[in-house]
């Protein structure tokens, strides 16, 4: 298969970037998108050109490292797939493919397709955890959790923090990411204790990092390689309103009324 690739090239964080065009052939449909770029990079190195920098790690769809906008869609056209799980058979021979980094103020481009996603780390640091006293492990059955709640927590916990939600959102909002973290912990009794404070601090960090607001467009849900539902955003909003009411009525936002 032959392709014409338009790739964003930017030598460094402060440097000016531009779209560069490369032609590539000898690609098979069974190659993953990243393998196709590997082939391109081999050829660029042979020609004495700086290879295209991109993030990747596990290449099996679970780490969330590979992040690129492919023809205007985060992780490309396949549903529920990361870029590494996208195969070239999803494209037609001779296609033109536009490859861009995630675009958001909170995700500054470091080089080519690599962006700094530590904004997500700071959001998690501000509340995406539960405080537990270490000591002897409690009995596994001492805290009964309904299966439905465990399933819901697992649905949200699938989030791999790749940033596709914020990249795909027309408002560059990372609300689905925050909602997944808040929904994951809030579905469990261990997380409920701090849920009110968690939503407030995580949203405050989300805003401070420079992400936009959610206007319920739903592009995040479609882009998410783990197909996390925007229903978690509704849950986040519900918890946020509850936190505001608790804080106003009780003078503080802690678990329980």
* Cβ-defined contacts of 121-126 (< 8 Å, 24+): 122/205, 122/209, 123/174, 123/177, 123/178, 123/181, 123/202, 123/205, 123/206, 123/209, 124/161, 124/181, 125/205, 126/201, 126/202, 126/204, 126/205
Applying CB under 8 A, does 4 fall inside the site for other proteins?
no
Range 92-121, binding other proteins (CB under 8 A): 98, 100, 103-106
Footprint of other proteins on residues 184-213 (CB under 8 A)? 199-200, 203-204, 206-207, 210-213
Q: Residue 84 or 164: which CB sits closer to other proteins?
A: 164
Nearer of residues 111 and 200 to other proteins, judged by Cβ: 200
Which residues, 6+ apart, have CB-to-CB distance to 232 below 8 Å?
Answer: 155, 156, 176, 179, 180, 182, 183
- 3-state secondary structure string, 26-40? CCCCCCEHHHHHHHH
Distance from C-alpha of 47 to C-alpha of 211, rounded to nearest angstrom = 39
Query: Does 83 interact with other proteins (rule: CB under 8 A)?
Result: no
Closer Cβ to other proteins, 59 or 237, answer by number: 237
Distances 76 to 53, 127, 216, 254 between C-alpha atoms, Å: 18, 31, 21, 41
Does 154 contact other proteins by CB under 8 A? no
Residue of the chain from 24, 51, 71, 110 that contacts other proteins (CB under 8 A): 71
Taken in order 70, 72, 78, 82, the sign of the CA dihedral is positive
With binding defined as CB under 8 A, does residue 173 bind other proteins? yes
Which CB, 59 or 218, lies closer to other proteins?
A: 218
226, 160 in Cβ contact below 8 A? Answer: yes
Of 51 and 210, which has the nearer Cβ to other proteins? 210
Question: Which residue in the set 6, 9, 59, 122 belongs to the binding site for other proteins (CB under 8 A)?
Answer: 6
Answer yes or no whether residue 180 interacts with other proteins by CB under 8 A: no
Q: How many residues bind other proteins (CB under 8 A)?
A: 55
The verdict on 3 binding other proteins (CB under 8 A) reads no
Residue 33 makes contact with other proteins by CB under 8 A? no
Closest distance of CB 130 from other proteins, Å:
21
Tokens 């467009």 correspond to 217
18 vs 23: CA distance, rounded Å: 16
Give the separation between CA 32 and CA 25, rounded to whole angstroms.
Answer: 14
Contact between 165 and other proteins by CB under 8 A: the answer reads: no
255 near other proteins (CB under 8 A): no
The DSSP element (H or E) to which 231 belongs, if any, is: helix 231-250
Per CB under 8 A, 231 contacts other proteins? yes
Site residues for other proteins per CB under 8 A: 6, 8, 19, 69, 71-73, 98, 100, 103-106, 168, 170-173, 175, 199-200, 203-204, 206-207, 210-219, 222-223, 229-231, 233-241, 243-244, 247-248, 251-252
């Amino acid at each position: 298969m032959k392709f014409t690739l338009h790739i964003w090239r930017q030598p460094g964080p402060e440097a000016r970037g531009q779209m560069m065009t490369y032609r590539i052939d000898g690609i098979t449909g069974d190659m993953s998108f990243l393998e196709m770029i590997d082939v391109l990079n081999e050829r660029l190195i042979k020609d004495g050109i700086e290879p295209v920098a991109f993030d990747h790690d596990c290449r099996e769809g679970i780490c969330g490292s590979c992040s690129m906008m492919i023809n205007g869609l985060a992780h490309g056209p396949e549903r529920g797939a990361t870029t590494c799980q996208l195969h070239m058979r999803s494209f037609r021979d001779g296609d033109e493919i536009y490859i861009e980094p995630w675009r958001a103020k909170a995700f500054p481009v470091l080089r080519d397709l690599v962006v700094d996603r530590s904004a997500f780390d700071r959001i998690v640091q501000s509340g995406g955890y539960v405080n537990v006293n270490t000591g002897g492990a409690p009995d596994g059955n001492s805290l009964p959790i309904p299966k439905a709640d465990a399933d819901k927590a697992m649905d949200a916990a699938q989030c791999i923090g790749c940033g596709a939600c914020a990249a795909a959102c027309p408002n560059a909002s990372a609300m689905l990411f925050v909602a997944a973290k808040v929904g994951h912990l809030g579905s469990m009794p261990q997380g409920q204790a701090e849920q009110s404070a968690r939503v407030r601090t995580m949203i405050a960090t989300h805003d401070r990092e420079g992400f936009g607001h959610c206007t319920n467009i739903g592009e995040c849900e479609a882009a998410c390689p783990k197909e996390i539902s925007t229903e978690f955003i509704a849950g986040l909003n519900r918890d946020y309103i509850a936190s505001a009411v608790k804080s106003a009525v009780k003078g503080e936002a802690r678990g329980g009324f």
